[in-house]
Structure 1
Amino acid sequence: MNLACTLCSSKTPSLSFFHSLLTSYTGSQNSKLALDIFRQLLETNVNPVDLTFSLLLKACASSLSSYAYASFSAGIEGSQVHSQLVKRGINQFVYVNTALLDFYMKLGCTTDARKLFENMPCRDVVSWNALICGYSQNGYHFDALDLFVQMLRDGFRPNQTTIVSLVPSCGLRELILQGSSIHGLGIKAGLGWDPQVKNAITSMYAKCDDLKASELLFEEMSEKNIVSWNTMIGAYGQNGFSDKAMFFFKKMLEESLQPSPVTMISLLSANAVPEIVHCYIIKCGFNSYVSVITSLICLYAKKGCTDMAELLYKTSPVKNLISLTAIMSSYSEKGDIKLVIEYFMQIQQLDMKPDAVAMISVLCGIIDPAHFVIGRAFHGYGLQSGLIVDCLVVNGLISMYSRFDEIEDALSLFLEMNEKPLITWNSLISGFVQAGKPSHAMELFRRMKMYGQKPDGITIASLLSGCCQLGYLRIGEVLHNYVVRNNVKVEDFTGTALIDMYTKCGRLEYAERVFKSINDPCLATWNSIISGYSLHGIEHQAFICYSELLEHGLKPDRITFLGVLSACTHGGLVLEGTEHFLIMTKEYDLMPDLQHCASMVGLLGRAGLFKEALEFINNMEIEPDSAVWGALLSACCIHQQVKLGECLAKKLFFLNNKNGGFYVLMSNLYAIVGRWDDVARVRYMMIESGGDGCSGVSVIQVASVEDINNNVLLDE
Structure 2
Amino acid sequence: MRISNPIIFSRDLSYFHSLLKPYNHGDISSSPITIFRNLLRSSLTPNHLTMSILLQATTTSLSPHTSLDFFKLQVRQIQTHLTKSGLDRFVYVKTSLLNLYLKMGCLTTARMLFDEMPERDTVVWNALICGYSRNGYECNAWQLFIVMLQQGFSPSATTVVNLLPFCGQCGFVSHGRSVHAIASKSGLEIDSQVKNALISFYSNCRELDSAEVLFTEMKDKSTVSWNTMIGAYSQSGLQEEAITVFRNMFEKNVEISPVTIINLLSAHVSHEPLHCLVVKSGMVNDNSVITSLVCAYSRCGCSDSAERLYASSNQDSIVGLTSIVSSYAEKGDMDIAVVYFSKMHQLCMKIDAVALVGILHGCTNSSHIHIGMSLHAYAIKNGLCTQTLVVNGMITMYSKFDDVETVLYLFEQLQETPLISWNSVISGCVQSGRASTAFEVFHRMKLRGGPKPDAFTIASLLAGCSQLSCLHLGKKLHGCILRNNFEMENFVCTALIDMYAKCGDVLLAESVFKSINAPCTATWNSMISGYSLSGLQSRALSSYLEMREQGVKPDKITFLGVLSACTHGGLVDEGKICFREMTKEFGISPSLQHYALMVGLLGRACLFTEALYLIWGMDIKPDSAVWGALLSACIVHREMEIGEYVAKKMFMLDYRNGGLYVLMSNLYATEAMWEDVVRVRKMMKDNGYDGYLGVSQIE
TM range (shorter): 0.7 to 0.9
Instruction: Give, in whole Å, the separation in 1 of the partners of 2:522 and 2:168.
Output: 27
Choose the corresponding residue for 1:394, options 383, 387, 391.
391
What secondary structure, in the 3-state scheme, does the structure 2 residue paired with 1:408 have?
helix
Matched, 1:476 2:474: yes
CA shift, 1:450, in A, is 2.6
Q: 2:233 and 2:559 mapped to 1: Cα distance? A: 30
Is contact 2:20-2:53 (8 Å) kept?
A: no
CA contact (8 A) 2:101 2:109 kept: no
CA distance in 2, matches of 1:530, 1:95: 73
Q: Find 1:242's aligned residue among 218, 239, 243.
A: 239
The separation in 2 between residues aligned to 1:533 and 1:188, in whole angstroms, is 62
What do the CA deviations read for 1:505-538 (whole angstroms, capped 9, x no partner)?
3445555565566667666556555555555531
TM-aligned CA deviation for residue 429 of structure 1: 1.7
Conserved 8 A contact 1:199-1:231? yes
1:205-284 → structure 2 map (5 Å cutoff): 205-209=202-206, 211=208, 215=212, 226-253=223-250, 257-284=254-281
State the 1:169 CA deviation: 3.9
Q: What secondary structure, in the 3-state scheme, does the structure 1 residue paired with 2:67 have? A: helix
1:602 alignment counterpart = 600
Residue in 2 that maps onto 1:694: 694
Q: Once structures 1 and 2 are overlaid, which stretch shifts more, 42-51 or 292-301?
A: 42-51
- Distance (whole Å) between structure 1 residues aligned to residue 346 and residue 261 of structure 2: 31
C-alpha distance after superposition, 1:5-41 (max 9, x if no partner)? xxx9xxx99664465367336xxxxxxxx6x843994
Q: Does the Cα contact within 8 Å between 2:665 and 2:676 map onto a contact in 1?
A: yes
Q: CA deviation at 1:483?
A: 3.0
Letter in 1 for 2:612: L
Shift, 1:459, TM fit: 2.0
Q: Distance in 1 between matches of 2:611 and 2:393?
A: 42
- Secondary structure of 2:184's partner? coil
Partner SS for 1:353: coil
Match of 2:345, SS state, is helix
2:540 aligned with 1:541: no
What is the aligned partner in structure 1 of residue 45 from structure 2? none
Partner of 2:75: 85
C-alpha separation between the residues in 2 aligned to 1:234 and 1:198? 14
CA displacement, residues 99-153 of structure 1 (integer Å, 9 cap, x when unaligned): 442453xxxxxxx546654665455123212312432xxxxxxx63464145414
Contact 2:223 2:254 in 1 (8 A): yes
**Offset at 1:190?**
2.3
Q: Distance in 1 between matches of 2:559 and 2:257?
A: 42
Say which of 120, 138, 148 aligns to 2:142. 148
Q: Which moved more, 1:210-219 or 1:623-632?
A: 210-219
SS at 2:31's partner residue? Answer: helix
TM-score of the pair, normalised by structure 2: 0.79
- Calculate the TM-score normalised by the size of structure 1: 0.77
Partner of 1:69: none
Change (3 A) 1:78 1:579: farther
Q: 2:456 aligns with which of 455, 458, 465?
A: 458
Partner of 2:581: 580
CA RMSD of superposed structures (Å): 4.0
1:38 aligns with 2:31: yes
Counterpart code for 1:97:
L
- 1:186 maps to which residue? 180
Q: Distance in 1 between matches of 2:154 and 2:437?
A: 56
Does residue 336 in structure 1 map to residue 336 in structure 2? no
Following superposition, the deviation at residue 181 of structure 1 comes to 3.9
CA shift for structure 1 position 213: 5.7
- Which entry has the higher C-alpha Rg, 1 or 2? 2
**CA, structure 1 residues 542+428, in 2 after alignment: closer, same or farther (shift >3 Å)?**
same
Superposition deviation, residue 356 in structure 1: 0.9
**Residues 113 and 40 of structure 1, relative CA distance in 2, 3 Å threshold:** closer
- Return the letter of the residue paired with 1:383: I
Tell me the CA shift for residue 662 of structure 1: 5.2
Question: By how many angstroms is 1:322 displaced?
Answer: 0.5
CA distance in 2, matches of 1:426, 1:605: 43
**Aligned match for 2:56, one of 43, 54, 66:** 54
CA distance in 2 between counterparts of 1:673 and 1:150 reads 93
SS at structure 2 position matched to 1:317: coil
Does the 8 Å CA contact 1:133/1:166 hold for their aligned counterparts? no
Measured in 2, the distance between the counterparts of 1:216 and 1:567 equals: 55
The CA distance in 2 between the partners of 1:288 and 1:153, in whole Å, is: 47
| Alpha-carbon distance change, 232 to 276 in structure 1, aligned in 2, over 3 angstroms | same
Out of 186-195 and 672-681, give the one that drifted further: 672-681
Asked if 2 retains the 8 angstrom alpha-carbon contact of 1:171 and 1:208, the reply is yes
2:4 matched residue in structure 1: none
Q: 1-side partners of 2:394 and 2:19: how far apart?
A: 57
Distance, in Å, in 1 between the alignment partners of 2:108 and 2:629 is 69
CA-CA distance at 1:380 after TM superposition = 2.2
- Answer 1 or 2: higher relative contact order, Cα 8 Å, separation at least 6: 1
TM-aligned CA deviation for residue 314 of structure 1: 0.7
Structure 1, residues 341-389: CA drift from partner, whole Å, max 9, x if none?
A: 2212222332321111111122122234233223222222222222222
1:704 aligned residue: none
**Residues 288-687 of structure 1: pairs in structure 2 closer than 5 A:** 288-452=285-449, 453-488=451-486, 490-491=488-489, 493-508=491-506, 510-511=508-509, 514=512, 524-525=522-523, 527-529=525-527, 531-532=529-530, 535=533, 537=537, 538-546=540-548, 548-549=550-551, 558-559=556-557, 562-563=560-561, 565-566=563-564, 569=567, 571-572=571-572, 573-583=574-584, 588=587, 592-637=590-635, 639-652=637-650
Residues 291 and 320 of structure 2 are in contact (CA less than 8 Å); yes or no, is this contact kept in structure 1? yes
- Tell me, in whole angstroms, the C-alpha distance in 2 between the residues paired with 1:342 and 1:288: 26
Corresponding letter in the other structure for 2:174 = S
User: Would you say the 8 A contact 1:565–1:577 is kept in 2?
Assistant: yes
Residues 268 and 296 in structure 2, CA contact (< 8 A), matched pair in contact too:
yes
Question: Unaligned stretches of 5+ in structure 2?
Answer: 1-6, 41-49, 83-87, 89-93, 118-123
